[in-house]
Structure 1
């Protein structure tokens, strides 16, 4: 059984001031971000927080210049106009505006799947073997050298954008066609033969794991955001195995320079055991999303989860109504 999250430090929504819920943007994950953002905005307002929606980074800059932002709940997914690649975090650090989620280092590093895996390997943490493909590199030759089956995915995208599952030679053509028109690095990763899990992180706590069982052959974009027949089993493991996956997820999160909240995706290979896949530093908060499901297993409803995440933007010694908070910022 996972530990319970710490109780909220504050009950007065006024402690947060005016909160910009940052969503949308121009990344490939815009629509998912808008869905997440609407849910977060509704949840914060339901708890009396003075929250408002902001679509994209330029609009946020204007709102900050106008003096109307005390802190940011970042639910902007992806890069290239998203909020998970460190650019937003550096901007807000420079402007002195607190925000949810990891800082510059953790955000920038984990947006790049290849370099995240390199850090994990240096730390002795388990992750599937991989090949790094520069733009224009021969994907077919790389797949044959690494050995099928493999997954191919952009190193710096999320939400299963541009992911190819290559089981045999017949699957190479479609992936090679995508690679020929893609201008960034691609990650080619040995396919894990076994079940898929995810572990939400809230501060220093690993939430209960979730075992993901899609109705189809794999957990693609449709299974994540559209289908209603994907099964989510929480907790995904029991006893010492559940404790082990929680410890591994926390270690992976911290090794990648992350703090605050996020989600670590893990798979269990039939031969090599638990294998780290990637980190999400602004996880989805849609009706299909996994961090809210895991929090609910501990009795934390969606609005309370959003409150706890937003509390992470408050400094350790925030004085409200004559008392001080004592948790970490």
Structure 2
């Protein structure tokens, strides 16, 4: 794999896919390979995936389709804390079991040095991330417990409201300026994350919530898996001022491979060419600079271009970037160095 550029990816939902499988041997499926989904350990090695943020997402389950409508047409109801707590703890336990069963092939990393060490040893470096904190109560006690288990990145909301703020719903075409900002509990959560050195992810937060984090946080602003709103006016994508704010703090944005966040028509067509991804990357580089652009694939959580297919398609994207004129240094920054730089500044 010496000729394959390593990738540190800002977002995947592999834990959710394994959790929803209901399999008692889910960790073995991940470690030994399976025919479903985008990521398992053998395919990660083949594709050059050296690490990434492994998300725990409390699933909406039956809420994913409300009265038969698509997610893009739905404002999701709030998730009950008890339901979110059960699934969050189940996936956190699964993450621990994967590490234990891996015999050194998979490592939960609590700081940037641990990520570098895992990458150097050939282990898959996993940063524990929670996407949507419905499991956490207003007392924030669960944050301390999860932090002790390795939590180092947190998105206060998914694309629905909770006690901390308002997630931006999936709408096209639409602005992210939908709903109110962070609640007082949400502002306290951001401050606690700063104290504990937990990265605050803005990808599912609406515009007012984004501004609140910008005003409160002393850490780099990060949108782990969001694209360019000027190209694809999906409400989940980043506007020009949001990218300027990220750049001003030395943060980053991760290119989301979801076709509906890439395509100018917002469509769910897997026959989306690399040219569309490169157009987003060019615009992100112009807005964020070479140090502010990375990958946030959304593997196992989205429909990705057929040319990528799954994690084994990462070298094809890297080759497309090279053919587009990106040099080796820039490719390495986007592929992994920028995430390592920002994580060092946030989680240590």
Q: TM-score range by the shorter chain?
A: 0.3 to 0.5
User: Which structure carries more helix by proportion?
Assistant: 2
Q: Give the TM-score, by structure 2 length.
A: 0.31
User: Which structure carries more strand by proportion?
Assistant: 1
The structure with the larger Rg is 1
